[in-house]
Structure 1
Amino acid sequence: MHFEDLQPEVVSILSQPVKSRDEKLLELCTLLNEKVSYYNWVGFYFADHETRTLHLGPYVGAPTDHTVIPFGKGICGQVAESNTNFVVPDVSAQDNYIACSFTVKSEIVVPLFVRGQNMGQIDIDSHVLDPFSEADERFLEFVNQEVAKLF
């Protein structure tokens, strides 16, 4: 599946008038999980800037105990502070990595900006070493630009 082919599906899912934001995000996670072979866990975390924590939103994949992540902790927490994409080709090489499952080999996290503020992120785990490319980053930036319209 080419990312360009997925873009209209992303827009279609997020523009459904009768579904809640969480329902749309869950459907979006399902689409990405099903259409991109190396996306094995797809979810959103949303920031609480007062408590400096991230809170798990809709996701598809194995259950996780990491429903609240402090800013700075793990890959997601680092993205909450850096406001930049973080691609991890091999999670075993990361010092500040929160292990979700022994099957996770790599991760990509892209921040979600709403009116210039980092409101959260899309987080994707893969069971494959080093599968993420610049094309993944650009596509996930597009996804988050579309998701930002829901806020």
Structure 2
Amino acid sequence: MQVEEPVVLYKLRAIDGQRFLVDRRTVAMIGRLEDLFANAGLDYIPTDELQPIRLEIPSTVMRKVIEWCDHHKFDPPFDGSQPETNDLPDWDTNFFMVRHSLLFGMIRAARDFNVPGLFAMCCRVVGQNPREIIAGLLEDSHDEEMNRQRRQNDRHYSAAAA
């Protein structure tokens, strides 16, 4: 008789405060979290003593990333050598039927948190290769930073003029 090991759940917290419980195998799909677990020894700390791990992702995006990782957690590790096809499995086709803003949030999260399989599928969905996607994300980040600095300067000069 084989005894099943209990499922250990870890707490993740989105930037907006919403919390998610995920099992260890799902955590392993998220490269940055896997690195954190390996480097900080989080596997050796009882889960009831761990604070929720905060990720800089909105809960709507985090929910989708976790859902994708949970669905694919028993797949072979993605290493980029898998054959490229334009056809996605039915589950993934349905999964990616979301608003563009959510899809691009998932692309950013997959890139920032090192979920290569999700990133590759997102690229296929939008019909661009990873380099084109990354270039667009970098351009968006640069534009956001420039707008933030412009707003900050406007506030500074408005306050100085008053």
Task: Please say whether Structure 1 and Structure 2 have the same fold, judged by a TM-score greater than 0.5.
Answer: no
Higher strand share: 1
Q: TM-score range by the shorter chain?
A: under 0.3
Mark the structure with the bigger radius of gyration: 2
Query: TM-score, normalising length from structure 2?
Result: 0.26
Query: Per residue, is there more helix in 1 or in 2?
Result: 2
